[in-house]
Chains A and B, each alone.
Chain A
Amino acid sequence: MISVNPKGEVWVFAEQHEGKLEDIGLELLGRARMLGDQLGVKVGAVLIGDNIKGLAQKLVHYGADKVYVVQHPLLGHYQTNSYSKVIYDLVHKYQPQIMIYGASSCGRDLAPRVASAVKAGLTADCTDLQIGDHENKSEGKTYNNLLLQIRPAFGGNIIATIINYDRWPQMATVREGVMPMPEPVVTRKGEIVEEQIQIGKEELPIEILREHRQPKKVNLKASRIVVAGGAGVGSKENFRLIWDLANSLGAAPGATRAAVDLGFIDRDYQVGQTGTTVRPSLYIAIGISGAIQHQAGMAESQKIIAINSDPQAPIFDVAHYKIVGDLNDIVPKMIKAIKARV
């Protein structure tokens, strides 16, 4: 661990694969910028890979004051041991007060390994990060300007705020899609710090035989409007209604876990705690009862229309427009109304 260091920077792990930055790192830079400004400290991005220095400027545009670039031929592919060793060394050298990672499959593999080696705390899958004070009543002491690490727990039934006041850095992984993507500022200036790191074969215990990454079929996060169907849609054939309404609005179709499990639509379209978190301008929930796990992935939408035959469905608690009735009757009426204005 490193000692409490209120002058330390706020760091983001800038995840990249095959020379392409992942969105999550850019999303995190937006929040890191906010936290850094509040604390009056610099924001750093940690960029690790082979031949990736060219990506550093983009990280500056998205909010980094400094980009720590670690390039090495042995770092071309992500491996837990090699990447965690790099971060371990950088953390001890620069003593950042905060370090955040995406809660991606890579981030959730890497961050706990780093936390264990550094002997620092780590909070998983946060949906919000803030700066705040913590009063410890038993010690009669107040800790100021801590990172409040906010996350759902117990299957989304509670929201826990976690802090770490003595074994720094304060570290968290953050769910993809919950932090708004910042607007890049191409005139922003930053410092690129190239780090030399010793890395040997012993840090590469895994041999990668084959790998396949497919782009998601749908980019739910980027859609302004999401039209989602649940088990109440009834069948795969009837899910056509969801597609039709989505098409009429230029929206992305989405689904609940129940609808995915029933085979109505592919898992890539799943919204909710185990799927994608979305915050579109408009979310249309059709035949969705509104389990807490689903609400966790869509409740932040700016406007929500809920259509359900059960007036008691929990989805109505978060809806701005409530329509009680048969979706087979209502959805065609909506398509007609939308088409009528063009």
Chain B
Amino acid sequence: MAYNCVVAIKQVPDTKRITGEAMNADGTVNRGALPAVFNPEDLNALELALDIKDKFGGKVTVITMGLPAASTVLREALYRGADDAILITDRKAAASDTLATSYILSCAVKKLDYDIVLCGRQAIDGDTAQVGPQMAEKLGIPQVTYIEELLTMENRHLSARRNIGNGWQEIKCKLPVLMTVIDEANEPRVPVAIKLMKYKKARTPIEIQMQLKKENPNASDAELKQLADMKIAELAKQGLLIKQWDLNELQADMQWCGRDGSPTKVHRIQSVVLTARESKTVEASEQGITDMIHELITDKTIS
């Protein structure tokens, strides 16, 4: 029995490697200064989907929503064994909060034939862990969060072990279902050389258009369109065209997308300046340490 999996992935700034230049003077984030990476737990979600494909057959489709550059993570998924990749990109999707993002992603998933939707538990830029459960609600399917191990898959039912923070829980559920996967679940596989050689040439239509415009600065719009159509047809024939959908294609209701579709708004952003407080340097000598302990006993910090 084969199962079709859809994995929702995200390209994120690598918040673990934040340096001084990553923050602007006004406290906002200079995204350009941060390397963009495949969100770590989304790799665990992809690994679980590929594992299901290896064991039971079926198809793995990866989807992402973001800027045209987000196709990088789609290619990385293809290198690892995903069968199909879809980029959702649209200026009108900008400034979407988790609610609007989950709406747009659910519109895309509804167009696909799926048994299981997988997401990483959370993305390292926002750490919200909200888009998965919100997407499940919009798809009208159950959610199983914090998956650390898939136990069985039979007769369109799965059983799995969840990490519930202070313990674990084993559950059984009928498909279709949405799962969010944690980093303890597995060790994501590395890209396969032969797939890397093939899919490094895979492109989305918008990447093709941007590339042609750069290569032919003097070409007219009509000429560029003709060139792009040719290139798109060529890649499609080779199985190297990454699908690209906009909100129109998804027939998304604009009132639930982008800024208008986002109930949460940013009131203020402050960069973290941990204030130097009243502090004293203590000599590492016996006297220095004894004095400090005495002071802490006197002010009743140590009772």
Contacts and interface: CB of A to CB of B under 8 A. Distances in A.
Contact of A321 (B22, B23, B269, B280): B280
Given A158-B23, A340-B290, A321 B301 contact: no
A166 B98 CA distance: 16
B38 to A, nearest CB: 16
Interface residues on A, range: 35 or more
Contacts of A336: 286
A158 B34 CA distance: 14
B263 interface: yes
Interface in B122-179: 124-138, 142-146, 159, 163-174
A154 B15 contact: yes
A249 interface: yes
B272 A156 contact: yes
A258 to B, nearest CB: 12
A209 B18 CA distance: 42
Contact of A1 (B262, B263, B281, B303): B263
Contact of B167 (A149, A156, A214, A323): A214
A124 B123 CA distance: 12
Contacts of B135: 116
A314 B256 CA distance: 43
B210 interface: no
Contacts of A116: 99, 102, 133-135, 137-138
B170 A210 contact: yes
Interface stretch (B57-65, B193-201, B216-224, B291-299): B291-299
Contacts of A317: 274, 276
A237 interface: no
B302 interface: yes
Report whether over half of chain A's contact residues are helix, strand or loop; otherwise say mixed.
Answer: mixed
B271 interface: yes
Interface string A257-301: 000000000000000000000000110000000001001000100
Nearest to B102: A116
Nearest to B281: A322
Contact of B281 (A112, A121, A324): A324
A302 interface: yes
Interface centre among B125, B138, B301 (most CB of A within 10 A): B301
A337 B276 contact: no
A120 interface: yes
B274 A213 contact: no
A122 interface: yes
Given A160-B269, A207-B173, A320 B99 contact: no
A341 interface: yes
A223 interface: no
Contacts of B296: 282, 303
B91 interface: no
A148 B130 CA distance: 19
Contacts of A302: 301
Nearest to B129: A108
B165 A105 contact: yes
B277 to A, nearest CB: 6
By Cβ-Cβ distance, the 8 closest A-B pairs, closest first, are A121-B263, A155-B15, A325-B284, A116-B137, A124-B128, A167-B263, A213-B167, A112-B133
Interface of B: 13, 15-16, 18, 22-23, 27-29, 97-99, 102, 124-138, 142-146, 159, 163-174, 256, 262-272, 274-284, 286, 288-290, 292-294, 296-297, 301-303
15 contacts: A108-B145, A121-B97, A121-B262, A122-B99, A157-B29, A206-B172, A213-B167, A225-B302, A320-B279, A321-B279, A322-B279, A330-B289, A333-B290, A338-B293, A338-B302
